[in-house]
């Protein structure tokens, strides 16, 4: 499976994989390696980590859901007639989020756009583990406010 570097850095970077392995209680790799030594590849069944084995796409999807929900709790959102304006944590920029019963959730942030344009084609098994629904922390904030 060939995954672009841009998508790989967003979905399963070494830092993220190390955090997920720790959450899953798989820490034996830490005795010999550090986060910079991790070698990760996208396989059909999950992310293969040379130093720690396979991480299923289901576990990766759950990690992203939990992370988005946790960050979304702290993002201020303003309800509009036709959607939400969600403030960024890092700047004063606000992102527009809306929901359509035909197309689902949409956000105008770069993460959402990248995932929306690439995941279904480059990582179809991960997309399936996400229940074929793309999201970001701005969408999570709007969802929690609805």
pLDDT tens for the 146 residues of the chain, in order: 789 888 999 999 999 999 999 999 999 999 999 999 999 999 999 999 999 999 999 999 999 999 999 999 999 999 999 999 999 888 889 999 999 999 899 999 999 999 999 999 999 999 999 999 999 999 999 999 88
Query: Edge to edge, what strands does the sheet with 40-42 contain?
Result: 40-42, 46-49, 53-56
- Residue for token pair 């960050």: 71
- Token pair for 106: 């949409």
3-state SS class at 77: strand
* Residue 60 pLDDT: 97
Segment (H or E) for 107: strand 104-107
- CA gap 54, 45 in Å, rounded: 8
Q: Which two tokens stand for residue 35?
A: 């986060």
Residue-range definition of the domain harbouring residue 80:
5-145
- Claim: this prediction has a pTM higher than 0.95: no
What total number of domains does the chain contain?
A: 1
* Alpha carbons 65 and 78: distance in angstroms, whole number: 22
């Amino acid at each position: 499976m060939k995954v672009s570097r841009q998508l790989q850095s967003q979905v399963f970077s070494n830092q993220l994989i190390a955090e997920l392995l720790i959450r899953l209680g798989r820490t034996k790799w830490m005795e010999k390696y550090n986060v910079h030594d991790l070698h990760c590849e996208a396989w059909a069944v999950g992310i293969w980590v040379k130093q720690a084995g396979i991480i299923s796409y289901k576990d990766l999807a759950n990690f992203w859901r939990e992370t988005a929900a946790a960050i979304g709790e702290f993002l201020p959102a303003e309800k509009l007639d036709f959607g939400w304006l969600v403030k960024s944590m890092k700047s004063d920029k606000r992102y527009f989020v809306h929901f359509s019963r035909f197309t689902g959730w949409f956000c105008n942030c770069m993460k959402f756009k990248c995932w929306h344009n690439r995941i279904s084609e480059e990582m179809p098994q991960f997309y399936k583990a996400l229940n074929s629904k793309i999201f970001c922390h701005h969408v999570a904030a709007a969802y929690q406010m609805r």
